[in-house]
C-alpha cells in the first residue's frame, strides 16, 4: 500500500483549528528516553501550540505520525572577535543576529535522520534571512551530551556567552554549502 509523501506543517497559534489526526500524531510522538529527548517530547505535546508567539514549530508528518519537529525563534549570539573576523562581520558588533533552534527532535521510530530536520531548519532560517538580518543558526544545548552531539555531528561552535553550556552556532551560509 503506497504511503503519502512526508509533509512539513507549521503549527498554528493556540485556539486555531488543528486536525484530530495531527493532535493524535503529536500525542504519540516519542523522541526516546534520554533527558533531552524526554523534554522535547513533553514540549511538543504540552507547549508547542502555546509557544506560537515566541517560536514557530514545524512538524514533519510521515505515515500519519510526527516523524520529527523543530521550533525556530529570532535571537542573538555573542561571537568571539576571531569568529567575527573570520566571517567578515563588523568587529564592533558582538551580538550577531541568529535563528535560534529552540527545540528539535525526531521520533525514535521514524526513518528520518536528525540531519534532515536540521537542514530544513537551516533552509527556513535562510529564507527568513532575506527578510531580516539573520547571520547564524544557534542552539542552546540541553545538557553536556547534546552539546557534544551538536559539536561532533554538525560542527557547531561555542559562542562567547558566559556559562558552562554555551550557546552554539553555525554560519547560515556555510551549513549547507
The 10s digit of each residue's pLDDT in 120-174 is 999 999 999 999 999 999 999 999 999 999 999 999 999 998 888 999 999 997 5
The pLDDT > 90 percentage for the chain reads 82
The residue-averaged pLDDT of 58-86 equals: 95
In this predicted structure, the answer to whether residue 71 has a pLDDT above a threshold of 70 is: yes
Give me the mean pLDDT over the 41-59 stretch. Answer: 96
Residue 2 pLDDT exceeds 50: no
Cβ neighbourhood burial of 88 (10 Å; 0-12, 13-18, 19+): exposed
Most confident segment among 9-18, 53-62, 78-87: 53-62
Q: Per-domain residue ranges for the chain? A: 7-175
Task: Report d(CA 80, CA 59) in Å as an integer.
Answer: 33
Q: How do strand 56-62 and strand 7-10 relate by DSSP bridges?
A: antiparallel
Band of pLDDT at residue 88, cut at 50, 70 and 90: confident
Question: With 90 as the cut, is the pLDDT of residue 111 above it?
Answer: yes
Q: Does the structure show a pLDDT above 60 at 83?
A: yes
For the CA atoms of 113, 116, 121, 122, what is the dihedral angle to 10 degrees?
130
pLDDT (mean) for 107-119: 96
What is the rounded CA–CA span in Å between residue 84 and residue 67?
A: 36
The predicted structure's pLDDT at residue 151? 96
Please tell me what DSSP assigns to residue 28. Answer: T
Provide the pLDDT confidence category of residue 177 given band limits of 50, 70 and 90.
very low
CATH, range 7-175: 3.40.630.30
Q: How many CB atoms lie within 10 A of CB 3?
A: 8
- The residue-averaged pLDDT of 37-51 equals 97
Residue 6 has pLDDT above 80, yes or no: yes
Beta bridge partners of 138: 100, 169
What pLDDT is recorded for position 3? 52
**162 against 110, higher pLDDT:** 110
Amino acid at each position: 500500500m503506497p504511503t503519502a509523501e512526508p509533509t512539513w506543517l507549521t503549527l498554528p497559534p493556540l485556539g486555531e483549528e488543528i486536525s484530530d489526526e495531527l493532535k493524535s500524531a503529536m500525542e504519540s510522538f516519542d523522541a526516546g528516553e534520554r533527558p533531552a529527548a524526554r523534554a522535547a517530547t513533553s514540549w511538543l505535546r504540552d507547549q508547542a501550540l502555546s509557544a506560537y508567539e515566541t517560536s514557530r514549530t514545524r512538524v514533519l508528518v510521515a505515515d500519519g505520525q510526527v516523524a520529527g519537529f523543530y521550533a525556530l525563534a529570532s535571537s542573538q549570539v555573542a561571537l568571539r572577535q576571531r569568529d567575527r573576523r573570520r566571517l567578515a562581520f563588523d568587529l564592533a558588533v558582538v551580538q550577531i543576529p541568529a535563528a535560534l533552534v529552540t527545540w528539535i527532535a525526531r521520533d525514535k521510530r521514524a526513518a528520518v535522520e536528525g540531519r534532515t530536520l536540521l537542514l530544513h531548519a537551516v533552509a527556513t532560517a535562510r529564507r527568513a534571512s532575506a527578510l531580516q538580518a539573520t547571520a547564524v543558526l544557534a542552539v542552546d544545548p540541553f545538557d553536556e551530551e547534546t552539546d557534544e552531539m551538536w559539536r561532533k555531528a554538525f560542527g557547531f561552535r561555542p559562542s562567547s556567552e558566559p556559562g558552562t553550556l554555551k550557546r552554539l552556532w553555525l554560519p547560515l551560509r556555510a551549513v549547507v554549502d
